[in-house]
């Protein structure tokens, strides 16, 4: 193959393995596959009646294969006595104990059935086969959601198994209106991806748009969340996440009840909810569990912390370097006293400390738990304190950066927090160029950027910007008492806005 041919885009081939099925062709497909197994058996010991059982070792569960397929083939006397012409039909209709049996005549479905954990039974002299599901069910058990801990509420979380995840949702939403449609994504991974929605509540256009985008994905495999997110979102260049996700089934179900459309991918232990608007990234699974006043106060704190985390470093640079007259006198005196003997400029100090904060955080994340904590303590406390004592950095800068950093951790969505961290750098640089003018221009640019984002046709800032033509939902900054929250959000185009009597 020439280099040009190798680099050229090629259409997805469906089916991937065209043509009729035969044992020889199947063996050819799985040539050089050490886990492909073929077992020759005599039906009830009759050497004139032979069958071949093919399976993928590790995908098929050996107990099931032995008990439900191989044992009846070897021990059932009827298989030796039935006329040759009726043998295949007998096997298909109940001679074996598997809960499903399917006749396959094409190569493509047979190959993928084996990969999914089924076994294929070939009778001598026939090219078609019977496929029996004997897949193994090895998977991680349902555990607690580590990223979204619950103090007052359910403690289960999604796992890597798609079907377990859909069952967790089905157990909470028992209505038959819960629809689950499956798509296969990835040329090589052939990952099942399920779209979930509540019929009569979710917007059919959003469902159709999501399915259309899923079908358009033509990649090798779905191994990480980004393999779906970056192909499904409207603005991949934006650092802001447009598809909120959760590990918690209760929060996922609440999203479906609000009229959003859910998405699961096999192998990824979380569920997405679309369309994603900015308020979704400030909500937690506990918002509806706490008293509405406490939940509202916490919500306001999270919004406030987002502003603090975003603006404090830039504001510090702008005020200390360009507009000292705006600082209260006593604070100014403290800053001046602390800044003496520090050899670096305020701008350099803040940017370096912001960078150091990210480095310490990254080092703490990449190392195992106990070592990570040690690195954080060493980096944050020991080195930070030593740097202040040695007049390398000013304590005021350290405080400003630490306040911004800690405020950033209040964000329920780490993706949103990461976007804010990137913009924090940008705003700090703009503030160091133009003081409050630069900071104000940066904030205007941020608002402009957020205002142009859309998630599945819904404005990202919809909770604040939908205007009068679109029915509003409930306030986004705080939570009303639940009996007063009678309406689903208007901007997400739900089919039924009233959610309670």
Partner 1 sequence: MRYAHVGGGGPGAPLLAAAAALCLLLSGCSGLPQAREMGDMALLRTMGVDASAAGVAVTGSTGPRARGLQAEGEPALVLAADRASLSSACLAMQGQSDSYVFFGYVDQLLVGEALAKEGVRPVLDYFARDRELGLGAQLWLVRGAEARQAVTSGGEEGLDRRLETLRHDGDMGIASVARTAGEVYTDLLEQGCAFVPALALSGGEGPLVQGGYGILRGEELAGFLEGEEARGLELLFGGPCGHVLDLALGDEGTAVRVLSARTKSSLELRGEDLPALKVVCKVDARLTEYRDPPGEGELERIGSLVEARERARIEGALERLRSWGTDCTGLGAEAAMARPAQWQALREDWPERFAQVPIEIQVEVRIQ
Residues near partner 1 (CB under 8 A): 205, 235, 237, 320-325, 329, 332-337, 339-340, 342, 345-347, 394, 432-438, 441, 445, 448, 451-454, 457-459, 469-470, 493
Q: How far is the CB of 321 from partner 1 (least distance, A)?
A: 5
Nearer to partner 1, 110 or 458 (CB): 458
Residues 6+ apart with CB under 8 A from 365: 372
Rank residues 39 and 391 by Cβ distance to partner 1 and give the closer one.
Answer: 391
Say if CB 120 and CB 26 are below 8 A apart.
yes
CB of 394 to partner 1, least distance (A): 8
CB 128, min distance to partner 1, A: 48
Chain-centroid distance of CA 21 in Å reads 37
Buried b (16+ CB within 10 A) or exposed e, 73-111: beebeebeebeeeebbeebeeebbebeebeebeebbbbb
In the bound state with partner 1, the residue whose beta carbon lies nearer, of 157 and 280, is 280
Q: How far is the CB of 333 from partner 1 (least distance, A)?
A: 5
Contact 306, 488 (CB under 8 A): no
Query: Least CB distance from residue 225 to partner 1, whole Å?
Result: 23
Separation between Cα atoms, residue 1 and residue 463, nearest integer Å? 53
CB of 59 to partner 1, least distance (A): 44
Please say which residue, 187 or 449, places its beta carbon nearer to partner 1: 449
CB of 335 to partner 1, least distance (A): 6
- Pick 199 or 452: Cβ nearer partner 1: 452
Q: Of 478, 467, 472, 479, give the one whose Cα is nearest residue 494.
A: 472
Q: Is 196 in contact with 166 (CB distance < 8 Å)? A: yes
Give yes or no for a contact between 243 and 455, defined as CB atoms under 8 angstroms apart: yes
Query: Cα separation of 163 and 250, whole Å?
Result: 16
DSSP state of 487: B
For the chain, the distance separating the N- and C-terminal CA atoms, rounded to the nearest angstrom, is 66
Q: Are 407 and 302 in contact (CB under 8 A)?
A: no
Residue number, 203 or 258, with CB nearest to partner 1: 203
CB of 205 to partner 1, least distance (A): 7
DSSP assignment letter at 156: -
Closest to partner 1 by CB, 384 vs 438, is 438
Between residues 83 and 329, which has the closer beta carbon with respect to partner 1? 329
Integer Cα distance of 309 and 295 in angstroms:
21
Bridge partner list, 40 = 52
Q: DSSP assignment, residue 91?
A: I
Nearest distance, CB of residue 453 and partner 1, angstroms: 8
The smaller minimum CB distance to partner 1, of residues 339 and 488, is found at 339
């Amino acid at each position: 193959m020439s280099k040009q041919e190798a680099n050229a885009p090629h259409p997805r081939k469906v089916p991937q393995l065209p043509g009729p099925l035969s044992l020889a062709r199947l063996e050819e497909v799985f040539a050089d596959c050490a886990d492909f197994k073929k077992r020759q058996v005599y039906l009830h010991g009759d050497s004139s009646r032979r069958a071949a059982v093919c399976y993928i070792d590790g995908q098929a569960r050996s107990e099931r294969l032995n008990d439900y397929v191989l044992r009846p083939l070897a021990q059932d006397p009827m298989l030796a006595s039935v006329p040759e012409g009726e043998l295949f039909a007998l096997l298909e209709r109940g001679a074996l104990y598997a809960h499903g049996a399917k006749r396959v005549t094409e190569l493509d479905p047979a190959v993928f059935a084996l990969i999914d954990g089924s076994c294929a039974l070939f009778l001598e002299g026939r090219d078609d086969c019977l496929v029996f599901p004997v897949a193994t069910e090895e998977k991680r058990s349902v555990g607690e959601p580590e990223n979204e801990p619950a103090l007052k509420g359910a403690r289960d979380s999604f796992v890597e198994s798609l079907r377990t995840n859909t069952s967790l949702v089905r157990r909470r939403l028992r209505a038959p209106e819960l629809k689950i449609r499956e798509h296969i994504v990835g040329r090589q991974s052939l990952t099942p991806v399920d779209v979930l929605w509540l019929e009569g509540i979710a917007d059919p256009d959003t469902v159709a748009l999501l399915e259309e985008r899923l079908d358009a994905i033509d990649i090798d495999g779905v191994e990480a969340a980004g393999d779906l997110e970056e192909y499904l979102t409207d603005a991949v260049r934006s650092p802001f996440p447009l598809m909120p996700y959760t590990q918690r089934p209760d929060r996922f179900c609440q999203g479906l009840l609000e009229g959003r459309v859910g998405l699961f991918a096999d192998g990824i232990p979380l569920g997405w909810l679309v369309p994603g608007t900015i308020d979704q990234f400030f909500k937690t699974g506990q918002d509806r569990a706490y008293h509405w006043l406490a939940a509202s106060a916490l919500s306001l704190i999270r919004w406030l912390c987002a502003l603090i985390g975003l603006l404090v470093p830039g504001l510090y640079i702008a005020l200390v370097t360009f507009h000292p007259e705006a600082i209260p006198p006593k604070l100014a005196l403290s800053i001046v006293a602390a800044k003496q003997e520090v050899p670096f400029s305020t701008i350099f100090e803040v940017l370096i400390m912001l960078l150091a904060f990210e480095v310490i955080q990254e080092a703490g994340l990449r190392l195992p738990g106990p070592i990570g904590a040690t690195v954080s303590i060493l980096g944050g406390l020991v080195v930070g304190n030593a740097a202040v004592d040695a007049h390398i950095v000013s304590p005021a800068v350290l405080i400003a950066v630490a306040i911004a950093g800690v405020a950033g951790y209040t964000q329920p969505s780490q993706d949103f927090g990461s976007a804010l961290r990137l913009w924090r750098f940008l705003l700090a640089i703009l503030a160091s160029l133009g003081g409050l003018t630069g900071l104000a221009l940066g904030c205007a640019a941020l608002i402009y950027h957020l205002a142009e984002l859309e998630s599945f046709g819904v404005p990202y800032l919809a909770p604040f910007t939908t205007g009068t033509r679109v029915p509003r939902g409930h306030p986004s900054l705080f939570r009303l008492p639940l009996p007063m929250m009678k309406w689903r959000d208007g901007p997400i185009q739900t089919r039924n806005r009233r959610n309670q009597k």
